[in-house]
Copies of this chain bind each other. A is one copy, B any other.
């Protein structure tokens, strides 16, 4: 038999590969990148908030002062001064030795899954929850269980009922993706009580916490229960996502394994980017910059709420009033399906993400199918007005 008569190489995929599927959101985003579409679909921070001039100055300074070190291999833990800055900026006592710099906070989810999840391990999530977390956990083949949640966040009794043998509870308390909701002080206290009583470990994700509009959210869970919590943070929403810089704070006993997983995953996060971010943040830059992001996003949320108030009466749509972050959550009238609505909305020039993708294992639940996520930060106020009007027309058509 000649070489060119041979069958193709019989690549065998790992079992976990069957669980890997294209992100529904990324697929939708491809459709909605068509020029002229007003997109409430993506979770893209407004590029007008990126401190381009400051990054330019920081890049020059880093390369001039420390170019070879910034371009060399570096410690897996992250750049020392950046780790110290992160530890000092958090509202509880954190040793810089507990801080691991990650390639975006998405990598934090990958590392947590590698270190804590075996095939079949039980992991608890909110209902609904961040889709990227489900994707990061999925290759480790856990059993993902949704915990009942409402506008105030997760419901402690249901959490307690499901805590037994769970490897951890993944929770996004502030301006959650996808719902925009914030966990109340009372709910946080009740959650911590359950965690301590049942020994349930927590993984707290807080990419949006700084983006509050009128008042800061209640203290993080990690501040209340540091030994029982891995905390994930991000620079994507306060600086820029294109640097891919996030971090995690781990209890000292867990840190070495997370570090070893990090080393095996990509050796370290880019040294140049870490130094640039640190440089930009010198001299209280964030204290001046973040209030501008808050003011912008608040005005865009207000524009979306005003447009909804104007366009939606009589259509049976319900929506919430997020107090920060990037997303608003809406419910169509009972029996109307957001997946069916999407193509009609796109025809009229507006896009959103159907909410069902965010419900772990309950994507077909009629309550999940009614929901949609609307981002208010990527479109301008004028686009928000036109987009919500177009969405109202599309809803009118299907109801």
Contact = CB atoms under 8 A, between A and B. Distances in A.
Contacts of A17: 114-116, 257, 261
A253 B243 CA distance: 30
A135 B264 contact: yes
Most chain-B Cβ atoms within 10 A of its Cβ — which of A44, A200, A240? A240
A237 to B, nearest CB: 11
Given A71-B242, A103-B269, A119-B119, 10 more contacts: A13-B116, A14-B167, A50-B71, A52-B71, A56-B63, A73-B236, A103-B266, A107-B265, A114-B139, A244-B266
B56 A68 contact: no
Given A16-B114, A55-B71, A257-B20, A265 B136 contact: yes
Interface stretch (A4-12, A211-219, A383-391): A4-12
A151 to B, nearest CB: 27
Contacts of A10: 199, 201
A273 B271 CA distance: 11
A376 to B, nearest CB: 17
A166 B307 CA distance: 59
A11 B251 contact: yes
Nearest to A102: B266
A117 interface: yes
Interface residue SS majority, chain A: helix
A256 B22 contact: yes
Given A72-B44, A240-B72, A261 B20 contact: yes
B272 A199 contact: no
A42 B75 CA distance: 12
A325 interface: no
Interface of A: 3, 6-17, 20-23, 26, 42-45, 47-48, 50, 52, 55-56, 59-60, 63-64, 67-74, 76, 102-104, 106-107, 110, 114-119, 121, 132, 135-136, 138-140, 167, 193, 195-197, 199-201, 225, 227-228, 236, 240-244, 251, 253-254, 256-257, 260-261, 263-273
B50 A59 contact: no
Given A10-B199, A103-B103, A241 B47 contact: no
A253 B22 contact: no
A50 B236 CA distance: 28
Nearest to A18: B257
B264 A139 contact: yes
B254 A11 contact: yes
Contacts of A102: 266
A12 B242 CA distance: 34
B264 A20 contact: yes
A139 B257 CA distance: 11
A45 B71 CA distance: 10
Contact of A8 (B11, B50, B227): B227
A199 B7 contact: yes
